[in-house]
Amino acid sequence: MINQMNEIVVVGSGAWGSALAETFEAEIIAGRAEAKCDLSNKIVVIAVQAQSLREVLLKHNYENSIIVICSKGVEQGSLKLLSEVAEEILPDNKIAILSGPNFAEEIQKGLPAASTVSCKDEEIGRELIEKLGKRNFRLYYTKDIIGVQIAGAVKNVLAIACGICEGKKLGNNAKAAIITRGVAELARLCKAKGGDDVTLLSLAGIGDLLLTCTSTQSRNFSLGVEIAKSEDIQASIKEKGGVKEGYYTAKAVNELAKSLDVEMPICKSVFDILYKDKTVNDVINELLQRPQK
């Protein structure tokens, strides 16, 4: 099927979309393009903000195309994973997810990197690896499309927590604790949603988590650092290039966890800071005073 598709199109002209378009030698169209585009019979790689995915999928013609979603998050309101949003709007299309420890700047420079491709249809997934994989961009297949997306969404929230830890100068021990206990939260949510927690050991899991939670190249980590140092948290959220993906994801993940009766204290703490005006110091004290288990 894919062998008959010679054209790859990237929707989304931000840093990530531009890096992917260059890597895949693909045409690129802006995520905010006003005109309806004919994207039929193509491999369509979508790299827009998670909360914009529905709008982009409703706008263009995707007949007989394979959709590869490279965004990370949970849709607010519906609490759907992005593949679920795509399946709702495009029930006849094959849907795949590309996710992993990838900074756009390094991908664009051609530096070595690896990522995960997930698709319920294994044949399509493995064909995508052959079609999209490059010498310096190695791809690995998994069928667990749920686990890949849960990991990709939650790691943005945990990155904010690690950034706060960095900004407060709480030390590397504390940061390691957040990452480790964050993996436990990820595993619980993944299992409750129907994913395989083994996926958390993959590039899309621990790989992406470690990268995002330890580098100032991560926008969500940097947001956490700013929040820790700021007297006006809401101003910090909105400055420096606009609101970051993790801000929206923190709310959606918190609501998803509540709906599935999953305990996620670190992610809940980030939500409380972002949306409930709790101070960083109060949240830290609450976490440290949680009952032993």
What are phi and psi for residue 230, nearest 5 degrees?
Answer: -95, 150
Integer angstrom CA distances of residue 89 from 78, 86, 223, 268: 13, 5, 33, 30
Catalytic pick among 42, 80, 131, 155 = 155
Nearest Cα neighbor of 230 from 178, 277, 292 is 277
CB atoms within 10 A of CB 121: 15
Nearest Cα neighbor of 97 from 113, 82, 109 is 82
Q: Which helix (H) or strand (E) holds 146?
A: helix 145-167
In sequence order, the 6+-apart residues with CB closer than 8 A to the CB of 258 are none
CA pair distance 158, 220, nearest whole angstrom: 9
278 is catalytic: no
CA pair distance 193, 153, nearest whole angstrom: 13
Q: CA-based Rg of the chain, rounded to a whole angstrom?
A: 19
Tokens found for residue 257: 């966890």
CA pair distance 76, 181, nearest whole angstrom: 25
Tokens found for residue 91: 């029930």
Helix pair 280-288, 265-275: axis angle to 10 deg: 160
CA pair distance 105, 98, nearest whole angstrom: 17
What are phi and psi for residue 138, nearest 5 degrees?
Answer: -85, 135
The residues carrying an active-site annotation are 155
